[in-house]
């Protein structure tokens, strides 16, 4: 039986033979939660940028002028929403582990928009939409990061970037067992070669078009394999990830996260219709 005949909703994806998870948000939150920084004894010990990444929401993309959009397929999408504050990031994460160091593939249909609080296009309001893996094998913690830099300080950028620069670790609390590093910091992003892409933003803030995204990554070599958004394929094989020595409690970690960032003092919303993670085993 093919994946498509077993689950017709999968026919819009190109998964590898093993479906690790296929999350349709019409069926609920599916393990996607808010990212929070590490802490000991008090929440005050969380690194400041990690304190408020916002809980995900099951959204019908409800608009003031035309009502509910719904998701690409069905009623609900997973929504991550920033505060109305320039530079604020909302991050949702799903945490699992891997059983085979194989190639993996994450696919999603996504869109992003500012809150329609002004009757203007608002295309420069979302700073970025992005995603990351957080992985660990026997020797290294590896964190592939990719983002679509839509706008920076009010200027459209419309290009894909990656990150390999390590953020410094901070000791958290007094036990000596907890550290934290802000890997989503604004610093250290680099352009993906030939990574420019104009996405279909549409003509007002309350119209949404869904975009297809696919990233392949090899858990054995810990290298990028393939990256696609809509009709564009980007060569990521020469790119690297954030790498650190293996950490004590993260063996076989396989985390996937999506984030959205505001470039103005307005809320920005990132939406996921569905997410499929598959493996070649």
Partner 1 sequence: MRSSYTAVVERNVTVRGVFTSEPYECGWAGEAVVFVRSLAGSLSGTHARVQISPDGMSWCDHGTEFALPAEGTVTACLVTHFGNWLRIAADTGNREATIIVTLQLKE
User: Which chain residues interact with partner 1 by CB under 8 A?
Assistant: 28-29, 34, 43-44, 46, 51-52, 54-55, 57-60, 62-64, 68, 76, 79, 81, 83, 115-117
Residues 6+ apart with CB under 8 A from 37: 46, 47, 49, 50, 51, 180, 182
Q: How far is the CB of 64 from partner 1 (least distance, A)?
A: 4
Nearer to partner 1, 50 or 160 (CB): 50
Nearer to partner 1, 83 or 183 (CB): 83
Q: How far is the CB of 69 from partner 1 (least distance, A)?
A: 12
Q: How far is the CB of 67 from partner 1 (least distance, A)?
A: 9
Q: Which residues pair with 141 in a beta bridge?
A: 136, 244
Answer yes or no: are the C-beta atoms of 278 and 219 closer than 8 Å: no
Q: How far is the CB of 60 from partner 1 (least distance, A)?
A: 6
Nearer to partner 1, 62 or 237 (CB): 62
Nearer to partner 1, 29 or 225 (CB): 29
Nearer to partner 1, 50 or 162 (CB): 50
Q: How far is the CB of 232 from partner 1 (least distance, A)?
A: 31
Nearer to partner 1, 117 or 121 (CB): 117
Q: How far is the CB of 231 from partner 1 (least distance, A)?
A: 31
């Amino acid at each position: 039986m093919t994946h498509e005949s077993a689950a017709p909703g999968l026919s819009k994806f190109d998964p590898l033979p093993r479906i690790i998870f296929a999350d349709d948000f019409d069926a609920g939150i599916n393990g996607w939660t808010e990212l929070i920084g590490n802490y000991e004894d008090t929440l005050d010990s969380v690194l400041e940028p990690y304190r408020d990444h916002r809980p995900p929401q099951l959204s019908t993309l409800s608009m003031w002028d035309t009502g509910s959009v719904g998701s690409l397929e069905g009623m609900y999408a997973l929504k991550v929403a920033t505060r109305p504050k320039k530079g604020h990031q909302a991050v949702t994460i799903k945490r699992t582990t891997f059983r085979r160091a194989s190639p993996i593939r994450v696919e999603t249909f996504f869109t992003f928009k500012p809150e329609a609080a002004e009757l203007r296009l608002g295309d420069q309001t979302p700073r970025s939409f992005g995603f990351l893996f957080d992985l660990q094998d026997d020797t290294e913690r590896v964190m592939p990061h990719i983002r679509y830099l839509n706008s920076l300080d009010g200027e459209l950028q419309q290009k894909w970037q990656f990150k390999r620069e390590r953020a410094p670790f901070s000791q958290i609390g007094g036990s000596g067992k907890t550290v934290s590093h802000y890997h989503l910091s604004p610093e250290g992003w680099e352009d993906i070669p030939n990574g420019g892409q104009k996405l279909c933003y549409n003509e007002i803030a309350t119209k949404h078009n869904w975009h297809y995204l696919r990233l392949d990554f090899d858990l054995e070599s810990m290298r990028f394999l393939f990256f696609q958004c809509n009709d564009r394929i980007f060569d990521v094989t020469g790119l690297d990830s954030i790498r650190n020595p293996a950490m004590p409690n993260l063996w076989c970690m396989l985390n996937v996260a999506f984030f959205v960032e505001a470039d103005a003092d307005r809320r920005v919303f990132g939406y996921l219709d569905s997410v499929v993670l598959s493996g070649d085993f």
